[in-house]
Amino acid sequence: MKPVLEVEGARKRFTLHLRDGLQLPVLDGVSLRVNAGECVALVGPSGRGKSTLMKCLYGSYAVDAGALWLQREDGERIDLARAAPREVLALRRREIAYVSQFLWALPRQPALDLVAERLLDAKSADPEADADPLDDTPYRAALEAAREQARTLLARLNLPAGLWGLPPATFSGGEQQRVNIARGLILPARLLLLDEPTASLDAANRRVVIELIREAKARGSAVVGIFHDEEVRDAVADRRIDFCA
Ligand SMILES: Nc1ncnc2c1ncn2[C@@H]1O[C@H](COP(=O)(O)OP(=O)(O)OP(=O)(O)O)[C@@H](O)[C@H]1O
Ligand SMILES: [Mg+2]
């Protein structure tokens, strides 16, 4: 069985232009493989490049050398390090989910729609050939179905129903993080990237997130995670990759 993700010798250095072009080597030939249904934890002290690797896998940063092979849903392998930007955007819509530590939200968009939108985006990547462009009935039905799924997930994550219709900008850190987790996990992604998803959560909500990550693995997602909380890491990770000095 081919791994869903295969990183081969990833290298990355930052050039600090404000410090006379000082070179900061961050990834020095990192390799790892993650199979479907498996979770690999990136472990190591602060500043060693764990989040940088995540951002390379999500296509936000380029690597200087190495390959980042993703086996797509259709069985093809694509090197994320060399993929065209539009291919990366298409993969983000359907196959790669990223839960960063910070919530990204459009101003004025309610939390519920921020989560439901993930499902609609994935659906719109695959339009029906014979759809009538002037008939919005299928869109409305899809929107309501997506909102219903989003409500179920937000309820599981104990986000008070009174907040669902509000934009998350004013939410507490833990509330924003739960919206972010719901957005990242509502879709069964092939590759799930989790950067400290439980950092601002209480014990009860950490347990819900552990359950959700286990369910994602059971559905066949390959998970790469950074978990400072050892209890969460032990509960979900099958292997660890050490980022040492
Ligand atoms: N865009 C950037 N430009 C310059 N330097 C950067 C950039 N992003 C990260 N770095 C530097 O790269 C190093 C690795 O950062 P990274 O965020 O990957 O660390 P980390 O292992 O995730 O740490 P933590 O456990 O604290 O989250 C740090 O020294 C950081 O300052
Ligand atoms: Mg980090």
CATH number reported for the structural domain that contains residue 234 in this entry: 3.40.50.300
How far apart CA 133 and CA 143 sit, in angstroms, is 16
Asked if residue 236 belongs to a domain, the reply is: yes
The fraction of the chain above a pLDDT of 90, given in percent, is: 77
Average pLDDT of the chain?
A: 92
Mean pLDDT, rounded, for 168-187: 93
Mean pLDDT, rounded, for 162-174: 93
* Single-letter amino acid code for the residue at 33: R
Is residue 95 scored above 80 in pLDDT? yes
Output the CA torsion sign for 166, 229, 236, 39. Answer: positive
Is residue 197 lining ligand 1, measured as CB closer than 6 Å?
no
The one-character DSSP state at 13 is E
Please tell me the number of the ligand nearest to residue 100's CA: 2
Per-residue confidence (pLDDT) for residue 21, from 0 to 100: 86
Residue range of the domain that includes 11: 5-104+172-242
Is residue 12 lining ligand 1, measured as CB closer than 6 Å?
no
Local confidence band at 245 (pLDDT 50, 70, 90 cut-offs): low
Instruction: Tell how far CA 69 is from the center of its chain.
Output: 17
The shares of helix, strand and coil residues in the chain, as percent rounded to the nearest 5, are 40, 25, 35
Is residue 100 lining ligand 1, measured as CB closer than 6 Å?
no
Local confidence band at 54 (pLDDT 50, 70, 90 cut-offs): very high
Is residue 46 lining ligand 1, measured as CB closer than 6 Å?
yes
Cα–ligand 2 centroid distance for 44 (angstroms): 10
Beta bridge pairs of residue 65: 11
Mean pLDDT, rounded, for 128-134: 71
Is residue 140 scored above 90 in pLDDT? no
Write the pLDDT tens digit of every residue in 59-87.
Answer: 999 999 999 999 998 999 999 999 999 99
Alpha carbon distances (Å) from 115 to 59, 99, 168, 185, 199? 21, 12, 11, 9, 20
Mutate to test the pocket of ligand 1, among 12, 13, 14, 243 (most ligand atoms within 8 A of CB): 14
Per-residue confidence (pLDDT) for residue 133, from 0 to 100: 74
Is residue 35 lining ligand 1, measured as CB closer than 6 Å?
no
Local confidence band at 127 (pLDDT 50, 70, 90 cut-offs): low
Asked if residue 167 belongs to a domain, the reply is: no
Mean pLDDT, rounded, for 119-131: 73
pTM (2 d.p.):
0.93
- Lowest mean pLDDT across 29-38, 128-137, 194-203, 213-222: 128-137
Per-residue confidence (pLDDT) for residue 69, from 0 to 100: 97
Which chain residues have CB less than 5 Å from ligand 2, an ion? Answer: 51
- Lowest mean pLDDT across 39-53, 100-114, 167-181: 100-114
Mean pLDDT, rounded, for 151-180: 95
Q: Which residues fall within 8 angstroms of residue 7, CB to CB, at 6 or more apart?
A: 30, 31, 32, 33, 53, 57, 66, 67, 68, 69
Asked if residue 37 belongs to a domain, the reply is: yes
Q: Considering its fold, how many domains does the chain have in total?
A: 1
Local confidence band at 102 (pLDDT 50, 70, 90 cut-offs): confident
Asked if residue 144 belongs to a domain, the reply is: no
3-state secondary structure of 97: strand
62-67: Cβ within 8 A, 24+ apart: 63/10, 63/11, 63/12, 63/27, 64/11, 64/12, 64/13, 65/9, 65/10, 65/11, 66/7, 66/8, 66/9, 66/10, 66/11, 66/27, 66/29, 66/30, 66/31, 67/6, 67/7, 67/8, 67/9, 67/10
